Structure 1
Amino acid sequence: MRLRLAFAVFAALMFAAPAASAAVQVRETRFELTLPDGRTLGSEDLVGAEMEIRDERGEVFTARLDAIEPAAEDPAVLLHRFSMLDARSGQWRPLCNADAYGRRAGFPVAGRWDAKGRYVKDPQSWFLTCTSGSQGKCVLWGYNPFRKAPSGADLAPFYQACQHMVRADYDGRGAPHTRNGTLILWGDVAGVSDDASDDPSWKFEAGWGPDGAVCVARTRWENLLPTAVLLESQPRLAAAPCDKAEARRRGALLFNHSK
């Protein structure tokens, strides 16, 4: 099938509605395209489709949906393999960078991001994310913002907190303090994941909420951001000690350990 769609972009890889001839929506991590004759096409039906995408700089490029496969972490999440057309060479290349498993894939997610970088649970909007980035990782880790936790809790705030945790964005201002490929253990208060480990080399790092860390025991990379420097500039993150109990007392949704 050869299908061409036109999308406008709110921000980097964030899409608005396409042309009036068709209506596109996202149900969790899959496209639903309603055609003028009433037929609905899902992501699986759109393999081979080419999309004209306008990015946040106003530049237009062509992307193509090459394949669909379920994610190993959660088969309900569909991984979309996109290529983009290099205007100079005329060659197609992967749209997404490789993740820790070598996958160059992404998927759409319902919702949007506001000017302050906060996730907004808006079913009428959607964006495209790659599995190599925090927005994709947090869905794969179980924090799909349109689902409920085993405890019944809304996962949207957990999804936002996860963005800060993945990026080691301690003060919640959007600046990362980690390196690609860094491993962490994480857990939460909602029963999605457990950060327990018998390995004493994993040390408690921080507790996380929707606005960033609630307390920090140690930074992930001392040579990127020394713990003392962070706590001097952000004294609200200090605690004696900062451990899981104290992080819970301060309202943490997520916790993590690092080496």
Structure 2
Amino acid sequence: MKLRLRLLPSCLAITLLSACAPPLDEAAAALTQQSFRGDEDDPDSHSQGTQLHATPVRAVLYAEALVQHDGALRVANLALNRGEIVAAMPLSVHGTTPSLARCGPGAAEDETRGCGFAVNGQGVCSPGSLVSLEGSSGGALRERCMGKPVLRVCEGEAPCEHQARGYLASANSDVTLNDCPSVRFTCPASGVYTALAGPRTPGAAWQMQLTSRAGAYPATRKVLRGEDLIGARLRQPSGGPPLLEITDVTHANAFPAPEGSGMWEPSGHTFLYQVHHVSSSPSPAPLCALGVNWAVPVKGLFTERGDRQESTRGFTLGCDAGVIAKCYRWGYQPWLDGATSGPVTRAHWSCTRMARADYCGQGTSFTQDGTRIRPWDALTPEIIPPPAPGSSSDGLSFEAGWNTAGPACLSHLRWKHLTASCVPLNPPIYDEQGNIVNDCRDPNTPYGPGKCAEICDNAEEAAQHYGSRVFNNSAINVP
């Protein structure tokens, strides 16, 4: 079996210790405008890049974010719901009011009195929606409430007085069949309300359970998502730069893709975020300095070497120009696996190696921004199908099969002058006739795993012999 000249760089064929041309990596490469040339003329291919995150920020913490609520910054914990950041802000009762004090002699026996109430709970709702809050005994359907309770609803998290600031509605039990009050009101702009309740006769025993048919009651937290997160401040692990602030949010199915046609991500489950560094400067620095300043949230963390790690402490914000975001946009969205990472998560990780031509599996890129490639996969079901015969990418040839550590097998390098001195693929060994005697595909090779040369010329070989599930075609580019 003859070695093809396109198989491995000449410096590897001579010796693994020889020096090759200097690589491009994320730490050293200058941040330049991402090029997407080729996709306008060739919609069947994609342009890759050299950047992994495309930002120095590698992690955002889930805990102790700050969100804007009712004119103030409040502590909240973050979570990822598919491709969306969701913040959970704990609710609490703010302040007090005379109606929470005990009543003296002669107090009124209705909902207008200014004493004898207690905080029953808090609820959340959609601003502007109609909310019904209904009392019941908590027992049988027709069972009466004890003490003929009175009810008052206040805007936000603070208790209020009857017909005073923050007051929304009130009711008594006089005209109900079960001696339980109910009220209807318009959800306030804050999306939060506080319910006060007590017995009709101050000091009497009483019992009532409140439920709502809109939003949630009782609630212990308010969930913020989408544009409600504008102004939120995100934390990084200790030692990182200052806080980050979300300055804009858009739905990915309404944002044009930067290459080819269509939307950035059409599933309806992904949001993009514009983020800036919190600073006293009138022009704070954007998180994403390349191209458009939009980032996508992705489960897990990536190290400088390109290794992916599961994390319960933080997640990744991948800028549009980086391959974490590119591979997500191409369809490898880790949340498709569900709660437990699986084949799509591994395909996304493998894709980040492929898109950067990370031949060494150490986070170093051996390509140039805007280089045209044609990725596909062998997932079930497949996310990117293989090139169709006669497609516009037929001018490209098979490059490699990929896994999470880099190329599992290689057919040619993407750029002739960007040779990898540390490619973890074994060099070929020749016999006197120039045949490769350590080809891993040869069942009769005397060289076992770890010594045979990982050579593949098509996706079938890469899948059968090396277990690859992600592949790509590319040209053999020259400077």
Q: State the TM bucket, normalised to the shorter chain.
A: 0.7 to 0.9
Q: 1:93 to 1:109 in 2, by over 3 A?
A: same
SS of residue in 1 equivalent to 2:364: coil
Q: Distance in 2 between matches of 1:175 and 1:202?
A: 23
Per-residue CA deviations over 1:184-233 (Å, capped at 9, x if unaligned) read 1011001100231524321111110111101111111111127xx67796
- Spell out the pairing of 1:175-190 with structure 2 (5 A cutoff): 175-190=364-379
Q: Any conservation in 2 of the 1:31–1:108 contact (CA below 8 Å)? A: yes
Q: What is the match of residue 180 of structure 2?
A: none
What is the distance in 1 between the residues matched to 2:273 and 2:360?
A: 32
Counterpart-to-counterpart distance in 2, 1:203 and 1:77: 33
CA distance in structure 1 between the aligned counterparts of 2:240 and 2:265, rounded to whole angstroms: 34
Residue 19 in 1 paired to residue 64 in 2? yes
Q: Which residue of 2 aligns with 1:90?
A: 282
Does the alignment pair 1:221 with 2:415?
A: yes
- Change in Cα spacing, 1:233 to 1:208, as seen in structure 2 (3 Å) is closer
**By how many angstroms is 1:92 displaced?**
3.1
**Mapped pair 1:131 → 2:314:** no
- CA distance in structure 2 between the aligned counterparts of 1:213 and 1:118, rounded to whole angstroms: 14
Q: What corresponds to 1:210 in structure 2?
A: 404
2:387 is the counterpart of 1:196: yes
Which SS does the other structure have where 1:194 is aligned? coil
Task: Call closer, same or farther: CA 1:123–1:144 in 2, change over 3 Å.
Answer: farther
RMSD: 2.9
1:3 corresponds to: none
**Alpha-carbon deviation of 1:148?**
3.9
Which residue in the other structure is 2:224 paired with? Answer: 41
CA distance, structure 2, for counterparts of residue 214 and residue 164 of structure 1? 11
Q: Specify which structure has the higher proportion of strand.
A: 1
- C-alpha distance after superposition, 1:156-196 (max 9, x if no partner): 11111111101101131211111111121011001100231
Shift of 1:69: 2.7
Could you tell me whether the CA contact under 8 Å between 2:242 and 2:278 is conserved in 1? no
Q: Give the TM-score normalised by structure 1.
A: 0.79
Change (3 A) 1:123 1:233: closer
Which amino acid is the alignment partner of residue 252 of structure 1? S
What runs of 5+ residues in structure 1 fail to find an aligned partner?
1-10
Structure 2: distance between partners of 1:237 and 1:80: 44
2:445 corresponding residue in structure 1: none
2:308 aligns with one of 119, 144, 149: 119
Paired residues of 1:53 and 1:61 also in contact (CA < 8 A)? yes
Q: Residues 50-98 of structure 1, C-alpha deviation per residue, up to 9 Å, x if partnerless?
A: 52544675332543322323241423221112233565x5313432134
Q: Distance in 1 between matches of 2:386 and 2:77?
A: 41
Matched to 1:59, the amino acid is: P
The 2-side partners of 1:60 and 1:129 are apart by 18
Name the residue aligned to 2:272.
79
State the TM-score, normalizing by the size of structure 2. Answer: 0.45
- Measure, in 2, the Cα distance between the counterparts of 1:230 and 1:54: 32
Q: Which region of structure 1 is more displaced relative to structure 2, 162-171 or 69-78?
A: 69-78
1:258 matches 2:474: yes
Unaligned runs of 5+ in 2: 1-55, 66-74, 92-220, 254-262, 428-451
Larger radius of gyration: 2
The alignment of Structure 1 onto Structure 2 pairs a total of residues equal to 238
C-alpha distance in 1 between matches for 2:271 and 2:57: 21
Q: CA deviation at 1:129?
A: 1.2
Instruction: Tell whether 2:248 aligns with 1:66.
Output: yes
2:457 alignment partner in structure 1: 242
Flag the 1:59–1:81 CA change in 2: closer, same or farther, 3 A: closer
Matched residue, 2:183: none
Amino acid at match of 1:65: T
What is the identity, as a one-letter code, of the residue corresponding to 1:242? D
Measured at CA, do residues 52 and 33 of structure 1 come closer, stay the same or move farther in structure 2, by a change above 3 Å? Answer: closer
CA distance in 2, matches of 1:195, 1:57: 44
Match in the other structure for 2:42? none
Larger mean Cα displacement after TM superposition, 66-75 or 206-215: 66-75
Structure number having the greater helix percentage: 1
Task: Calculate percent identity across the aligned residue pairs.
Answer: 24
Q: Quickly say closer, same or farther: Cα 1:32–1:200, change in 2 above 3 A.
A: closer
Q: For residues 125 and 92 of structure 1, do their structure 2 counterparts lie closer, same or farther at Cα, with a shift above 3 Å needed?
A: closer
